[in-house]
Structure 1
Amino acid sequence: MSRMTLKQTLKSDLTSAMKARDKVRTGTLRMTLSAVTNAEVAGAEVRELSDDEVLKVVIKEAKKRREAATAYDDANRAELAEQERAELEVLEAYLPSQLSDEELDALAKDAVAETGATGMAGMGQVMKVVQPKIAGRAEGGRVAAAVKRALAG
């Protein structure tokens, strides 16, 4: 039997969440699948997204939740921040395990060595090399910080 695609997994998990009357999971998965559908119809022609493309949508949705939770915290809206974090937790189950700072620093150092970049002018070059190796296992801001540390060091 062939492996389920990420999109099929999301749909199957949505059905389970609905049966279990899990409001947070149901709502989060509905919004995520809606974002996947929007991405599928966004181009010149409708197409099925690959697992990697679906994962990028999930990563983007998780980032939105993380940013919203921070914004709500800053505005002293704890109950809204908690809601965003609960949705983020649902999405994190579909993301690859995140890299530790040490792993991230090591990848950044390797990329700096590989490109021979020096100083902040080489940041773009290094990011191009390091991003594919990270593939959703760390947020852009963390990657950029690690690259800056590697270039400074």
Structure 2
Amino acid sequence: MTTLKSKLHDDLTAAIKARDELRSSTLRLTLSAVAYEETSGKVARELSDDEVLTVIAREAKKRREAAEAFDMGGRAESAQRELAEGEVLAEYLPKQLSDEELSAIVAGAVAEATAGGAEGPKALGAVMKIVKPKVAGRAEGGRVAAAVKAALAG
């Protein structure tokens, strides 16, 4: 079974051979983020595929945020580059949930939490606890929190 990390390495090698500068630099940066994560604790360890996915998602989020910042700063070319790198990373991530799918999961979790007696500000934490594992890797935390707050307010 090939791991996600070895797939990234193989794709990097292919990108270098194909002289695909964007893909090779994006994968190189991502692999260095994975390597950093593996050596950041007290003991060096091999990351699981889920942990590698978390690193890729974090890197993709950084690209989106940088693209927005470049866009606001009037640096369209840099923003395009960041978005293109984000698209390369998106190929490795699970398909993101649509707003409708996310809303349906949140609605179910709100019903479950309120049935369990959660209400008011405490309900947010209770609902997030139910929703998080169901959407892991398929929706960003900020997006999930916004959906939960909207559901609780309505």
Report TM bin, short chain: over 0.9
So what's the TM-score if we normalise by structure 2? Answer: 0.94
Residue 51 (structure 2) aligns with: 53
Deviations 1:74-128 (A, max 9, x none): 1111011001001001000000001010100011111111221334442122112
Unaligned runs of 5+ in 1: none
Alignment: residue pair count: 151
Question: CA–CA distance in 2 between the matches of 1:92 and 1:133?
Answer: 19
Residue 37 (structure 2) aligns with: 39
Amino acid at match of 2:59: E
Question: CA–CA distance in 1 between the matches of 2:121 and 2:86?
Answer: 33
My pick for the range that moved more, 112-121 or 13-22, is 112-121
CA RMSD of aligned residues (A): 1.0
Residue 129 (structure 2) aligns with: 128
Match among 91, 94, 103 for residue 92 of structure 2? 94
Question: CA–CA distance in 1 between the matches of 2:68 and 2:122?
Answer: 30
Amino acid at match of 2:98: S
Unaligned runs of 5+ in 2: none
So what's the TM-score if we normalise by structure 1? Answer: 0.95
Residue 71 (structure 1) aligns with: 69
Question: CA–CA distance in 2 between the matches of 1:66 and 1:50?
Answer: 25
My pick for the range that moved more, 74-83 or 109-118, is 109-118
Question: CA–CA distance in 2 between the matches of 1:58 and 1:50?
Answer: 12
Amino acid at match of 1:130: V
Contact 1:119 1:152 in 2 (8 A): no
Please give the secondary structure, in 1, of the residue aligned with 2:119. Answer: coil
Residue 142 (structure 2) aligns with: 141
Question: CA–CA distance in 1 between the matches of 2:2 and 2:151?
Answer: 39
The offset of 1:140, in angstroms, is: 1.5
Query: Hey, which bits of structure 1, 4+ residues long, moved more than 6 A?
Result: none
Matched, 1:27 2:39: no
Residue 11 (structure 1) aligns with: 9
Question: CA–CA distance in 1 between the matches of 2:32 and 2:61?
Answer: 16
Amino acid at match of 2:97: L
Contact 1:120 1:148 in 2 (8 A): no
Amino acid at match of 1:150: A
